[in-house]
Amino acid sequence: MSTRDLGGVVVAAALPYRADDAAPAGLAVDYDTYAEHCRWLVDNGCRGVGPNGSLGEYSSLTDDERRRVARTAIEAVGADGIVVVGVHGPGAHQARYWAEAAAEDGAHGVLCLPPTLYRANRGEVLAHFEAVASVGLPVMVYNNPFDTKVDLTPDLLAEIAQIDNVVAVKEFSGDVRRVLEICERAPGLAVIGGADDVVLESLLMGATGWFAGFPNVFPAESARLFELATAGKLDEARALYEPLVAAFRWDSRTEFVQAIKLGMDMVGRHGGPCRPPRGPLSDAQREQVRADMGRALAALGVA
């Protein structure tokens, strides 16, 4: 698999903190624990990690923290996997800056949303991705119309795919009908499943990767699910997938970061708190996450 191919299971690595009154919101990034976590994900069968995504709370980090998080992931994974760094920014100049930093630090590719604080039009979206792609790293564009209010529809992706170095799209719309349409309209663009709760459906329709959230909790089992799905072993894949879907649905909810971190805590990993604006789960939400995770873990023989 070429390093320009950003497929496989790439985990949007959750970011651990430790209490520190001098740090933003009283929480300092725990780089050593983050490095160990990135290493653990790759050692358990995932192809790589994605630092500085939404799950990595990039928008709550200082610039220095954000750069160090990416470097930590790159150093931890080494030659044993790929690192696809989130370079999201309000404008093309910010996103390009982060792409340049990722290139300097040795990343294999970048993940990039459209402009994050502004509902960009078609021309502005194209200019944004052209600026990021001009850095030279393989680019995975990220379609998250819920957070950005910009929908990278299949016809728009057909245009974006013409930009040199744009190689993939993380598709988070939840509409699995789009997978085949993207493949038809932009045959050179790899479709990467972006929502955990439709990943099997996406892989069966032709997605070649999974940019994943809940594999922070059970990476080996997630890698196995990807392997079964891409090998066409539907019965085995479905038997593994169905008990996990209730937990996976949290990946498409507002509180997905908190839910995944709670799942990590439940299996003895370091999940912990989030920085603002994310607050703690309500009691009802915690109870539901624990129930959904409990079913998944019981099915996997972990609980």
Whether the Cβ atoms of residue 173 and residue 145 lie closer than 8 Å to each other: yes
Q: DSSP code of 13?
A: -
Q: DSSP code of 199?
A: H
Candidates 2.30.30.180, 3.20.20.150, 2.60.40.10, 3.20.20.70; correct CATH number of 8-230? 3.20.20.70
* pLDDT above 90 for 267: yes
Could you tell me the residue ranges of all domains in the chain? 8-230
Taking every pair of Cα atoms in the chain, the longest distance, rounded to a whole number of angstroms, is: 53
Mean pLDDT of 161-189: 97
Closest residue by Cα to residue 181 from 233, 126, 148, 143:
143
Residue type, 144: N
Cα(208)–Cα(199) distance, integer angstroms: 10
Cα(234)–Cα(168) distance, integer angstroms: 25
Q: Take residue 47 and report the two structure tokens written for it.
A: 């192809």
Return the bridge partners of 192, or none. Answer: 170, 209
Helix (H) or strand (E) holding 111: strand 109-112
Mean pLDDT of 253-261: 97
Q: Take residue 185 and report the two structure tokens written for it.
A: 């309209």
Cis peptide before 277 (omega within 30 of 0): yes
- Reported as a single tens digit per residue, the pLDDT across 111-143 is 999 999 999 999 999 999 999 999 999 999 999
Cα(141)–Cα(192) distance, integer angstroms: 10
Whether the Cβ atoms of residue 194 and residue 172 lie closer than 8 Å to each other: yes
Q: Lowest-pLDDT range, 3-12, 168-177, 221-230?
A: 3-12
Phi/psi of residue 276, nearest 5 degrees = -60, 150
Cα(225)–Cα(256) distance, integer angstroms: 21
Q: DSSP code of 277?
A: T
- Across the chain, mean pLDDT equals 97
Which residue numbers are catalytic? 142, 170
* pLDDT above 70 for 156: yes
| pLDDT band of 302, cuts 50, 70, 90 | confident
103: helix, strand or coil: helix
The reported pTM is 0.97
Going from the C-alpha of 178 to that of each of 33, 155, 170, 209, 286, the distances in angstroms are 37, 10, 12, 15, 33
